[in-house]
Amino acid sequence: MSVPAISYKETLVWENPVYVDVRAPVEFTKDHIPQAINYPLFDDAERAYIGTLYHTQGKEKALLEGVSIASLKLKDMLSFFSTLKEHVIIYCYRGGMRSESIVSFCNALGFSFYKLDGGYKAYRHYVREYLTEFTFTIPVFTLYGLAGSGKTRVLKNIPYTIDLEHCAGNRSSLFGSLGMPNHTQKYFESLIVQKLRTIGSWRYCLFEGESRKIGNCHIPHCVLNSLQNGKSIWLETPLEKRIQHIYDEYVPFISEELILPILDKLQPTMGKSKTAYCKQLFKQGNIHELIEFLLLHHYDPEYLHSIKHISFMAHIPFKDPVTTAFEMETLINDMLSV
């Protein structure tokens, strides 16, 4: 008897659908439906073991071993599923045996679960197709400013924004990976699609100016093209305040094990003597001086070179995140009313 199945697009009309990803944690970490709950049928070691059995002793042996392992988890599984509300969708990689067996078993006991048709693989196809076909129908604005200007702090106080660095789990520099999850390209795209699906009622969309990549994540063309062609605004922040912003953000990660290897990666562009001087400042505990040197001798020149062809419609001085956000919203609304 076939189990009830539903496509990802069909679930989008539901209010508060609950996605349960029964793939192994290693699969879930690479990418998953945002807000999905990971309740793996097999952990990483079990998945690897069953996969080995499949390739060495055949499908039947792997299936029997899988059933044996899963049967020991049924009591805890039912206890977990009993806590979930309506509109529960179970998915595995292809919508195959893992999700189908769980839905079949649970529904036989009185639950009303759905299997995600095609599983994660079909969801991933939806994401790729969405990004291929998406076009912005609202005005796009792009906020630029030197490193440490407080762009992200300002954007967090404006509702019509998409924080690409948050989606990438990276602050968009060699140091930007510190203390961040560093998402995969696939999960980066999943989070972007999730945001793009919410902007239909927005008056405009505001991005932070980015290059083609944030960490190891490539910005999808539909977003990058609109970002680069958006109405540009410059955030002006004094050097001293920029230094303090960066210090406050990175101080939890200031250790030789983390910082010195990153400084080594800057040597090809900064040169040996400047890199050695940076290491000296760090070892002496002169962190503010190190930040200032990196800004003036590396980050600022590179950033200014990258934006030299951009014409800015307005310059806004940074005061504090809330006040600056209010002034930026006022500026944008004035632009839209012209």
Q: Which of 64-78, 150-164, 234-248, 264-278 has the lowest mean pLDDT?
A: 64-78
For residue 153, give the amino acid letter.
R
pLDDT of res. 66: 86
Cβ of 301: how many Cβ atoms within 10 Å?
12
Phi, psi of 63 (to 5 degrees): -65, -45
Do 159 and 332 contact (CB within 8 A), yes or no? no
* pTM: predicted TM-score of the whole model, two decimal places: 0.94
Counting residues of the chain whose pLDDT is more than 90, the rounded percentage is 89
Four-CA torsion 235, 239, 240, 244, nearest 10 degrees: 60
Average pLDDT score over residue span 19-45: 97
**pLDDT band, very low/low/confident/very high, at 1 (cuts 50, 70, 90):** low
CB-CB contact of 104 with 3 (8 Å): yes
Rounded to 5 degrees, what are φ and ψ at 218? -90, 130
pLDDT of residue 254: 87
User: What pLDDT sits at residue 176?
Assistant: 85
Apex 173 CA angle, 218 and 166, nearest 5: 60
The alpha carbon of residue 303 and the mean position of all alpha carbons in its chain are separated, in whole angstroms, by: 23
Q: In the block, which residue shows the tokens 């500026």?
A: 331
What single letter denotes the amino acid at residue 312? F
Q: What angle do CA 202, 207, 208 make, to 5 degrees?
A: 160
3-class secondary structure, 309: coil
Q: What is the mean pLDDT of residues 6-23?
A: 96
Summarize pLDDT for 111-168 with one digit per residue, the tens: 999 999 999 999 999 999 999 999 999 999 999 999 999 999 999 999 999 999 999 9
**Using CA atoms, how far apart are residues 278 and 265, in angstroms rounded to an integer?**
12
- Which of 334, 291, 36, 31 is CA-nearest to residue 173? 291
CA distance 264 to 261: 5
Determine the Cα–Cα distance for residues 123 and 323; give it in Å rounded to an integer: 40
Q: What domains appear along the chain, each with residue ranges and CATH number?
A: 5-129 (3.40.250.10), 134-337 (3.40.50)
Tell me the pLDDT tens digit for each residue of 223-235.
999 999 999 999 9
Secondary structure E strands in 159-309: 205-208, 213-214, 217-218, 231-236
The C-alpha atoms of residue 138 and residue 136 are separated, in whole angstroms, by 6
Q: Which residues pair with 13 in a beta bridge?
A: none
Write down the mean pLDDT value for the chain. Answer: 95
- Is the pLDDT confidence value at 85 over 90? no
Statement: residue 332 has pLDDT above 60: yes
Residues 239-248, mean pLDDT to the nearest whole number: 97
Q: pLDDT of 187-209, one tens digit each?
A: 999 999 999 999 999 999 999 99
**Which of the residues 92, 106, 167, 205 is marked catalytic?**
92
Compute the distance between CA of residue 17 and CA of residue 37 in angstroms, rounded to an integer: 11
Residue 92 bears catalytic tag: yes
Question: Where does residue 244 rank: exposed (0-12), middle (13-18), buried (19+ CB within 10 A)?
Answer: middle
